[in-house]
Amino acid sequence: MSSFQPLPASEEAPATHVRTRTPAVFRAAAAAWPAVKEWSLPYLASLDPGLPVPLVEGNREAERTRFTTSTLGSYVSRLTREAPADDVPAYLKEFDLLKNFPQLRADLRSRELFPPRTIRSSATWIGPSGARTGLHCDLLDNLAVQIMGTKRFYLAHPGTVKRAGMESRKYDAWARLSLISAEELAAGQEPGDLFVVDLAPGDVLYVPAYWWHEVVNLTPGVLLSGFFGPRTRVLSRWAWVQAREGLHRAGLLGRDDCTCHASRALDLKSG
């Protein structure tokens, strides 16, 4: 993906980039967090080994939505073992780690990063090497903190997917999806519009709302995302999302083509 330019590290505060709506990586900004220094996969597995967890199989943003289930202990323990070459990665996405284990909040220093007077919501991505989240853009700003392992982000300016005529109609409550991958998008873009950055433990990445990004695990890893924004913006987005969710639950929007339910066509085939 030679069209992707390295995203340079920033020495400024995250709030500066939030004001200018520009993505930025802050190297080692969370390196002193107890979560980064002390958490491990065995530790997370031990928190509640029997807790049922839903796993996403493959790249649901670009492919059919498929789920499987496991337990937290069994799944996280598997991440330390090498998977077969033809194995379809199973990904624990959007896991509310802090709701399940509120004691872990003491290991974070989120106030050091987020602008004041913002509403925040966190989610955790835990997965193996090769796990991927397809090209999409979120409706809220995101400060992503790499806790364990390494992860690669491909980023593209807002509007690039729409100009290519490749926005997907697949339903996702808090994101818009692309019909093509970052690599396919790059084939028709000018240099300078696309960026790539690898995150190591302790690195923090700011992804503004509506910036397109595709994410791939280079190693087994854990990433904590903090979606945020000013109160009025978050509440207006939330109201809009809830209205669409009502239509979706009624079968009037994104029926049989969404990221939250297994693809019906796949279920019928397998059943």
Query: Which three-class secondary structure string do you get for the chain?
Result: CCCCEECCECCCCHHHHHHHCCCEEECCCCCCCHHHHHCCHHHHHHHCCCCEEEEEECCCCCCCCCEEEEEHHHHHHHCCCCCCCCCCCEEEEEECHHHHCHHHHHHCCHHHCCCCCEEEEEEEEEECCCCEEEEEEECCEEEEEEEECCEEEEEECCCHHHHCCCECCCECCCEEEECCCHHHHHCCCCCCCEEEEEECCCCEEEECCCCEEEEEECCCEEEEEEEEEEHHHHHHHHHHHHHHHHHHHCCCCCCCCECCCCCHHHHHHHC
User: How much is the average pLDDT of 5-27?
Assistant: 95
- Over residues 39-78, the pLDDT tens digits come to 999 999 999 999 999 999 999 999 999 999 999 999 999 9
Q: What is the pLDDT of residue 85?
A: 64
Q: How confident is the model over 198-251, as pLDDT tens digits? A: 999 999 999 999 999 999 999 999 999 999 999 999 999 999 999 999 999 999
Q: What is the pLDDT of residues 83-133, one digit of tens each?
A: 666 678 999 999 999 999 999 999 999 888 998 889 999 999 999 999 999
For the entire predicted model, the pTM comes to 0.93
Answer with the residue of higher pLDDT: 142 or 269.
Answer: 142
For residue 2, is pLDDT > 70?
A: no
Q: Per-residue confidence at 255, pLDDT binned at 50, 70, 90?
A: confident
Greater pLDDT, 45 or 268: 45
